[in-house]
Amino acid sequence: MAAHRCRNLACLLLLFLSVFLVTMSQETTLGHEQHATAVGDPQTGAETKHTAEKPRVEEKRWEETKVKATTQASDTAVLTKTQVNEDFQEELVIRPLHSGDIYASFQFRTVWETDFMKGNKVSHYRLFPKSLGQVISKFSVRELHISFTQGYWRTMQWGQPFIPSPPGAELWVWFQDSVTDVDATWKELTNVLSGIFCASLNFIDSTNTLQPSASFKPLGIGNETDHRFLRYATLPREIVCTENLTPWKKLLPCGSKAGLAVLLKSEKLFHSSFHSQSVHIRPVCQDRQCKSSSWELRQALNVVFDLHTSGQSKREWSLFKMFSRTLTEACPLASSSKIYIDVTDNPQEEQFELSPATPLLSQAVVLGDRRTFSVYDLTQQVTFGTVRSLNLMIRWKSSEGDMLRPLLHAERYVAGYGLQTGEIHTLMYNNHPFRSFPVLLLDSVPWYLRLYIHTLKVISKGKDNNPSYIHYQPSKDRERPHLLEMLLQLPPHSVTEVTVQFERALLKWTEYTPDPNHGFYVGSSVISSLVPSTVAMETNITMEQPLFSSFFPCKEESSYFARVYTEPLLVNLPTPDFSMPYNVICLTCTVVAVGYGSLYNLLTRSFQVEEPNPGLAKRIANVIRRMRGVPPL
């Protein structure tokens, strides 16, 4: 899925042709829908015809921008060669949620056709951040995914996110197969990233690093799937805040000066129910034949604003209310800059009202569903209207807060009481009415919870559910965590429960954290799955798609890839009372000294009845006798 940037006429022609094809296909699908609705209601039929024409208008505009981009490229072509192959796109998706909350997802993508490997020293950077480029070349990184999340994504209320992430920090990296000492490289890489993102990634060590065998496959191109070159780690305790946002924003070509990034103000972003920011680097194909590859840097930021805590009486959202900024321009470096509003559930504006209205509609297949979006193209001056600023408004009309029933969701908890043993329960729900689907469960448990793997039970619908694949790596104390990977088939409309018992280890006293009574974190389980899709998925990854629908590559049409993270666990370990070490030392010393000493005495001494002491008179007599030199009495 590379950008349509051309350098010669042949390419341009090809592009026209493909765009034309896309338009045709969209028109045909729309045509079907139009027919269906037209039968139901002739009045709306007319309207749909109206909307059916809109995409064509929009497509025309896309064409225009393409031409414009090409001319821009030819203008700058006099500069260096490498600059030409760079492309930057930015987009914001806003999805009003049933609960009245609002989900905003930013994605920024930089694609650069270059080669960091094979001793090729890249020193000229334009859009691609130099700090990350150096990381890629120095550590021979093939793929890098890092996310920082504050909060837990509530699948039951919000549905699936575009890019899922677990609470805390998550980092997974595929190294090139040329790397000889992967562990050392990984260690160094985490320390470097820790500096770049101002995060405690340096706490990643062998006790929380995993090598999953199946759950994390490369998302970019590449056939190498030997998991020796994969490292995965999570830090569930990591707190994400402004100091992580600032370095993240600095990686953007426009910084937070222009474009969509002006909305990223920390005082609002961290006044929300959920905040997640991530960076994904991977090699991608440039065209359909995949003859040449380029590097893609995706920066994503997801945030969910809460209706209740925003302290408003009316159910109303606007860009200004969410971000305390409005938009005035696109990032000048961006080839595309768009805002998508999900209006699928709102075809007749019966749920919410959107202003200013936009003539552009777009459809995309995302997460197994065909969604309709209103599109605002920021590269067009007309979008900003006469006031030269765009402040989108969403006014809710109805209010309903029912729970969703997403096809796949999961939860996890610790059962039992007391500080000796416990049981981890992981529940996975398949809410599909008639189709079963496979999931890969990845569980990583720190070594200080000693799993009793013989108690592992997988039960769905009251029956044992035998995993078709199990990869278990036992922990080593103070060296590596437990790793449990299972391939399970979730029966339709069922709950599958995975339980395993554990024992809590007593740590050495220096191994406790400064706040041991808070508890110890166990990272989220990762559930990766191919969920049955309701519409045909787009398998052509090079086709022009909105960014939010093109993150996970899709291999088949009937299902889509989804990843679900469970909540992390907080487990209390047996903790000594650190507040009275003095008392403890005194007591143990006394007990040892008194108890041991006297026992030792009693055991080793031979007791003899002492002769009775001579009387005082006798003693005096003896003294006198000694003075006289006579033997004593």
Partner 1 sequence: MGLLSDPNRRQALIKLLTRLNAPICFVCYFAGVAWFMGLAFEPFTLRTYMSENAMGSTMVEERFPAGERALATGREFAAHKKKVGGMPVDWLVKTMQARGLEVFTQSFSRTLPFPDENTERYVVKGTNVYGILRAPRAPRTEALVLSAPCTPGDNNNQAVGLLLGLAHYFRNQVYWAKDIIFLVNEHDLIGMQAWLEGYHHTNVTGMDWSPLQGRGGSIQAALSLELSSDVVTSLDIVLEGLNGQLPNLDLANLFYAFCQKIGVLCTIQGKLQRNDWDSASGYNHAVQTMMLMVMKQASGRPWGDHGLFLRYHIEAATVKGVNSFRHYKTDATTIGRLLEGMYRKLNNLLERLHQSYFFYLLPSLSHFVSIGYYMPAFGLLAVILLLRALDLWVQLSAQPSRTEDGVAGTEQSNPGVLSVLTPLVISHLTGAALYMLPVRFQEVAVEHFPVSETEAVVLTAIAVYTAGLALPHNTHRLLSGEGTEMGWRVLKLVALLYLAVLLGCTAVINFSLGFILALTLVPAAAYVTPHVPKALSAFFLVALSPACTLLFSVFFFQELQEMPVSFQDGWLLYLSVIAQGMLDHYLYGSLVFPLVALLVYPCWLLFWNILFWK
Of the ranges 196-204, 285-293, 473-481, 515-523, which one interacts with partner 1 (CB under 8 A)?
A: 515-523
User: CB of residue 481 vs partner 1: minimum separation in angstroms?
Assistant: 18
Task: Kindly tell me which of 125 and 152 has the beta carbon lying closer to partner 1.
Answer: 152
Residue 567 binds to partner 1 (criterion: CB under 8 A): yes
Q: How far is the CB of 199 from partner 1 (least distance, A)?
A: 16
Q: Are 543 and 285 spatial neighbours (Cβ–Cβ below 8 Å)?
A: no
Q: Residue 48 carries which DSSP code?
A: H
Q: Tell me the three-class secondary structure of 138-172, residue by residue.
A: HHCEEEEEEEEEECCCCHHHHCCCCCCCCCEEEEE
Binding flag, residue 517, partner 1 (CB under 8 A): yes
The pattern of x and - marking residues 350 through 389 that bind partner 1 according to CB under 8 A reads ----------------------------------------
Which residues lie closer than 8 Å to 355 by C-beta, 6 or more apart? 392, 393, 395
- Amino acid identity, position 251: L
The nearest distance, CB 350 to partner 1, in angstroms, is 21
In the complex, what is the shortest distance from the CB of residue 312 to partner 1, in angstroms, rounded to a whole number? 10
168 is an interface residue for partner 1 by CB under 8 A = yes
**448-475 burial string, b = 16+ CB within 10 Å, else e?**
bbbbeeeebebebeeeebebeeebebeb
Residue with tokens 């992580």: 244
Q: How far is the CB of 31 from partner 1 (least distance, A)?
A: 41
Asked if 318 touches partner 1 (CB under 8 A), the answer is no
Could you tell me which of 411, 486, 475, 407 has the C-alpha nearest to residue 215? 486
The angle that helices 182-197 and 130-139 make with each other, rounded to 10 degrees, is: 170
Residue closest to 522 by CA, chosen among 508, 539, 536, 504:
504
SS (HEC) of 493-536: CEEEEEEEEEEECCCCCCCCCCCHHHCEEECCCEEEEEEECCCC
Smaller CB separation from partner 1, 144 or 163 = 163
Is residue 572 close enough to count as binding partner 1 by CB under 8 A? Answer: yes
If one asks whether residue 341 binds partner 1 (CB under 8 A), the answer comes out as no
Task: Determine which residue in the list 25, 72, 74, 309 makes contact with partner 1, applying CB under 8 A.
Answer: 309
Nearer to partner 1, 309 or 588 (CB): 309
CA distance 591 to 598: 11
Site size for partner 1 (CB under 8 A): 56
Regarding 157 and contact with partner 1 (CB under 8 A), the answer is yes
As measured in angstroms, the least distance from the Cβ of 168 to partner 1 is 7
Among 154, 231, 371, 563, the residue binding partner 1 under the rule CB under 8 A is 154
Tell me whether residue 284 or residue 569 sits nearer to partner 1 (CB atom): 569
Residues contacting 438, CB < 8 A, separation 6+: 487, 488, 489, 490, 529, 530
Q: Which of 2, 146 has the CB closer to partner 1?
A: 146
Give the pair of three-digit tokens for residue 489. Answer: 């088939």
Instruction: Give min distance, CB of 427 to partner 1, in A.
Output: 9
Among 120, 123, 348, 417, binds partner 1 (CB under 8 A): 417
Q: Which is nearer to partner 1, 288 or 457 (CB)?
A: 457
Strand partners for 336: 89
Structure tokens at 247: 């370095």
The greatest distance separating any two alpha carbons of the chain, rounded to the nearest whole angstrom, comes to 145
- Cα–chain center distance at 436: 26
Helix (H) or strand (E) holding 283: strand 274-285
In this complex, which beta carbon is closest to partner 1, that of residue 151 or of residue 492?
Answer: 151
Interface characters, 60-99, with partner 1 (x: CB under 8 A): ----------------------------------------
Q: Which is nearer to partner 1, 85 or 272 (CB)?
A: 272
- Closest among 326, 320, 343 to 94, alpha carbons compared: 343
570 counts as binding partner 1 under rule CB under 8 A: yes
Q: Among the candidate windows 5-13, 102-110, 258-266, 273-281, which touches partner 1 by CB under 8 A?
A: 273-281
Q: What one-character-per-residue DSSP string does 215-272 give?
A: S---SSS-----GGGEEEEEETT----HHHHHHHHHTSTTTTTSGGGGG--HHHHTSS
Residue 184 found at the interface with partner 1 (CB under 8 A)? no
Q: Does 401 bind partner 1 (CB under 8 A)?
A: yes
Q: What is the pattern of x (binds partner 1, CB under 8 A) and - over residues 591-610?
A: ---x--xx--xx--x-x-xx
Nearer of residues 309 and 355 to partner 1, judged by Cβ: 309
Pick 112 or 323: Cβ nearer partner 1: 323
The bridge status of strand 437-445 relative to strand 526-532 is antiparallel
Q: Please tell me whether residue 236 binds partner 1 under the rule CB under 8 A.
A: yes
The token pair at 107 is 């994605």
C-alpha span between 284 and 113 (Å, rounded): 9
Kindly state whether residue 568 participates in binding partner 1, applying the rule CB under 8 A.
yes
Q: Which is nearer to partner 1, 24 or 419 (CB)?
A: 419
Task: List residues binding partner 1 (CB under 8 A).
Answer: 150-152, 154, 156-157, 167-168, 236, 270-275, 306-309, 311, 401, 403, 411, 413-419, 423, 425, 515-519, 521, 567-572, 575, 577, 579, 594, 597-598, 601-602, 605, 607, 609-610
